[in-house]
Structure 1
Amino acid sequence: MNVLEQEIKQLIIDALELEDIAVADIDSNEPLFVDGLGLDSIDALELGLAIKKQYKIKLDANSEDTKKYFASVSSLAEFIQSEQQAA
């Protein structure tokens, strides 16, 4: 597991106050919403804000691409890395 994916997993746990879940419990390729981790739209907003704050990244809530980025921890990590390299 790469460092960025581990950071994102910890950010998810902290931002959403998921006290019963450990970093090791989150599969990087598992869906974050509905199936998988089971997050909902309110969780998406909170997670989006946490990512914007932590990584200084702009997110467009209405973009189809943003929905793809939030599909899993690994897709979020790829998105964050690409945004950081572009900056």
Structure 2
Amino acid sequence: MEDLKKELKVKIIEVLNLEDIELSEIGDQDALFGDGLGLDSIDALELIVLMDKDYGIKLSDPKEGREIFQSIETMAAYIAAHRTK
């Protein structure tokens, strides 16, 4: 699970072009949106594409996305349980 969390942090930094953020600055429990990492709705769409492309997980319900994208911890747990790739 720790490897998956690190992998997610690397991919989020790359996909969302967050060049000014280091891996160590993203905590596993930190909020990804709002006061945490400060991601927005466009970033959420990029995360949905990343989930599909890299892990074979298709998200269609926005409410589901809100739950999954709360933190690195919640993303990793969902991916571990549902990945097809």
TM-score (norm 1): 0.89
Q: Deviations over 1:50-86 (max 9, x none)?
A: 1211111111243x2221111000000000001038x
**Corresponding residue SS for 2:29:** coil
Tell me the percent identity.
42
- Give the distance between the partners of 2:46 and 2:36, measured in 1 at CA: 18
Asked whether 1:80 is paired with 2:79, we answer yes
Amino acid at match of 2:55: Y
Structure 1 ranges of 4+ moved more than 4 A: none
Q: 2:36 is matched with which residue?
A: 36
Gaps in structure 1 of 5+ consecutive residues: none
- Give the distance between the partners of 1:61 and 1:32, measured in 2 at CA: 18
**Corresponding residue SS for 2:4:** helix
Instruction: Report how far residue 23 of structure 1 moved.
Output: 1.2
Amino acid at match of 2:64: D
Asked whether 1:65 is paired with 2:64, we answer yes
- Give the distance between the partners of 2:37 and 2:57, measured in 1 at CA: 23
Q: CA RMSD in A?
A: 1.7
**Corresponding residue SS for 1:18:** coil
TM-score (norm 2): 0.91
